[in-house]
Amino acid sequence: MDFDAQSLKKRIDNDIVFIREVLKKSIPTLRERLKVLNEAWYKRELSTIHDTAHSIKGLAQMLSFEQLSDCSQIMEKESRYALNSGAGFYDAFTTNPDQLEDALNRAEKAYLESELAP
């Protein structure tokens, strides 16, 4: 599931106005974090990849952007593995920043098609 509107509503006590405000501010924040992730990916900066994927995961979980959260969690684990094992950069990853961006795009689209849309 890309966006679980019911879960978010339940978590934020059905405060639709507040949910819209949070999403309005959070989606651009996620896009900025994805830019950082992309830059780190192409520079092969494993620590930055790990930290940024972790940050994206947390915000995605809070927003009920489930697929984005799942992809970010996988990237976070894979980057930790690469940091700790010395594995080759591309050998360590099954995910990439493009997949996270696709997940965010789908989540945003699902939000805009949901009952929570402005």
- The answer to whether the beta carbons of residues 49 and 64 sit under 8 Å apart is no
In a 3-state reduction of DSSP, which class is residue 76?
Answer: helix
Per-residue pLDDT at 70: 98
Alpha-carbon separation of residue 6 from 30, 81, 91, 95, 102 (angstroms): 21, 34, 38, 28, 22
- The domain limits of the chain are 5-112
> What tens-digit pLDDT sequence spans the chain (118 residues)?
999 999 999 999 999 999 999 999 999 999 999 999 999 999 999 999 999 999 999 999 999 999 999 999 999 999 999 999 988 888 889 999 999 999 999 999 999 999 999 8
Indicate the pTM of the whole model: 0.95
Instruction: Provide the residue type at 97 as one letter.
Output: P
pLDDT of residue 89: 86
Q: Looking at domain 5-112, which of 3.30.450, 3.60.21, 1.20.120, 3.50.50 is its CATH number?
A: 1.20.120
Residue 88 has a pLDDT of 84
